[in-house]
Structure 1
C-alpha cells in the first residue's frame, strides 16, 4: 500500500500462502491471536487470514494447516480453462 497510515507492509500482489505460512496461522490462532495480529506477522491482509481459516477448519473450530493446503491445491487444480 502506498498510504503512510496503512498497517500492512508492502508485499507482492497476488502472493499465495505456503504451507509454512499456514503452519504459522495454525500456531498463532491456537494461541488466541486475532486475524489482524496474524496478518501483521505474515505481512498480508486480515481477510486473507479469515479466508484461510475458513478453508482449513475441519472439525469444531480446529484449524489444520495441512487441510488448508490440500483444499487450496484441490481448488487450484479445478480452476482455469476447461477443454
Structure 2
C-alpha cells in the first residue's frame, strides 16, 4: 500500500478520481473515517469526497 500512497501524493489538480480512489473512499466510509482524513489519504479536497458521495459515485 506504500506505493499507492506515493502515487496519491503526486495527484494533479483537476483530474478525475480513479476507480481505486473511489474504492478507498467507500472502504474508509464503511470504517467511519472522516471526509477530511479520507481526502488527506487520497490527496484531494474534502469537498471532492463530499461531492463524490452526493452524486452517488461512491456507495455508502
TM range (shorter): 0.7 to 0.9
Greater helix proportion: 2
Structure 2, unaligned runs of 5 or more:
1-8
Structure 1, unaligned runs of 5 or more:
1-8, 58-62, 66-83
TM-score (norm 1): 0.55
Greater strand proportion: 1
Say which one has the larger Rg.
1
Q: What count of residue pairs does the alignment treat as equivalent?
A: 52
Q: CA RMSD in A?
A: 2.1
Which segments of structure 1 move beyond 6 Å, counting only runs of 4 or more?
none
| Larger RCO (alpha carbons 8 Å, 6+ apart) | 2
